[in-house]
A and B are shown apart, each in its own frame.
Chain A
Amino acid sequence: DQQVKQNSPSLSVQEGRISILNCDYTNSMFDYFLWYKKYPAEGPTFLISISSIKDKNEDGRFTVFLNKSAKHLSLHIVPSQPGDSAVYFCAASANAGNMLTFGGGTRLMVKP
Chain B
Amino acid sequence: DAGITQSPRYKITETGRQVTLMCHQTWSHSYMFWYRQDLGHGLRLIYYSAAADITDKGEVPDGYVVSRSKTENFPLTLESATRSQTSVYFCASSEIRLAGGNEQFFGPGTRLTVL
Q: Which residues of A contact B (CB under 8 A)?
A: 4, 6, 9, 32, 34, 36, 41-46, 49, 51, 89, 91, 93, 96-100, 102-105
A105 touches B42 (CB 8 A): yes
Closest to B56 in A: A99
Band of interface residues on B: 20 to 34
Across-interface contacts of B4 in A (CB, < 8 A):
43
Residue-wise, chain B 81-115 has the 8 Å CB interface mask toward A (1 for contact) of: 00000000010101011000111111111000000
- Decide if the interface of chain B is mainly helix, strand, loop or mixed: strand
Determine the distance from Cα of A32 to Cα of B103 in the docked complex, in whole angstroms. 10
A42 touches B109 (CB 8 A): yes
Determine the distance from Cα of A32 to Cα of B4 in the docked complex, in whole angstroms. 24
Closest to A95 in B: B97
Across-interface contacts of A105 in B (CB, < 8 A):
42
Closest to B6 in A: A43
B105 touches A46 (CB 8 A): yes
> Which 10 pairs across A and B sit closest by C-beta, in order of nearness?
A43-B106, A104-B42, A102-B43, A102-B42, A46-B103, A44-B106, A43-B108, A98-B97, A98-B102, A105-B42
Q: Which residues of B contact A (CB under 8 A)?
A: 4, 31, 35, 40-45, 48, 50, 90, 92, 94, 96-97, 101-109
- 5 A-B pairs in the complex with CB atoms less than 8 angstroms apart: A32-B102, A43-B109, A98-B97, A98-B102, A102-B35
B97 touches A89 (CB 8 A): no
B42 touches A89 (CB 8 A): yes
